[in-house]
Amino acid sequence: MSRPSVLIVDDNDLLRSLLRGMLRDSEYEVVGEARNGIGALELAERLRPDIICMDVVMPEMNGLEALQAIKSRHPETVVVMLTGSPSVEHVRSSIQNGASGFIVKPFNAGKVLDTVGRAWRSAKPTDGGQAAV
């Protein structure tokens, strides 16, 4: 079985590289990275990742705006939001717009892999059959 593909979206280079390392060391294949919502939309269209890990607060287009656009075009994509300032409003908006999980910074590998893993498992059919295409 192939590894789930992941797109990482964060305006912080260090955080992107930390996430890349955590995910690559696990069962995921990091297929792309973007530093804002505009880049996220372009790469989501081109790469069609299974999972997107995306920051809420970014320049040009924030994560909530990008989340809405991505979920409207690709409702099957699993999106996990990241934030350094977890407000109730951000969490509520993320969930209402289709996010499957929420990770608060600073994070560790255990938290990231647990949240992404739960979001991915909950999105997959459990009957052992193939997902509808």
57-104 pLDDT tens trace: 999 999 999 999 999 999 999 999 998 877 888 888 999 999 999 999
Sequence-separated (6 or more) residues with CB below 8 Å from residue 95:
102
With 50 as the cut, is the pLDDT of residue 107 above it? yes
Is it the case that residue 131 has pLDDT exceeding 60?
no
Answer whether residue 129 shows pLDDT above 80. Answer: no
- The pTM (predicted TM-score) of the whole model is 0.90
Q: What is the mean pLDDT of the chain?
A: 91
Residue 110 has pLDDT above 70, yes or no: yes
Position 91 scores a pLDDT of 86
CATH (one of 3.30.450.20, 3.40.50.2300, 3.30.2130.10, 3.40.630.10) for 5-123: 3.40.50.2300
Q: pLDDT tens across 29-51, in order? A: 999 999 999 999 999 999 999 99
Domain chopping of the chain, boundaries: 5-123
pLDDT, position 99:
96
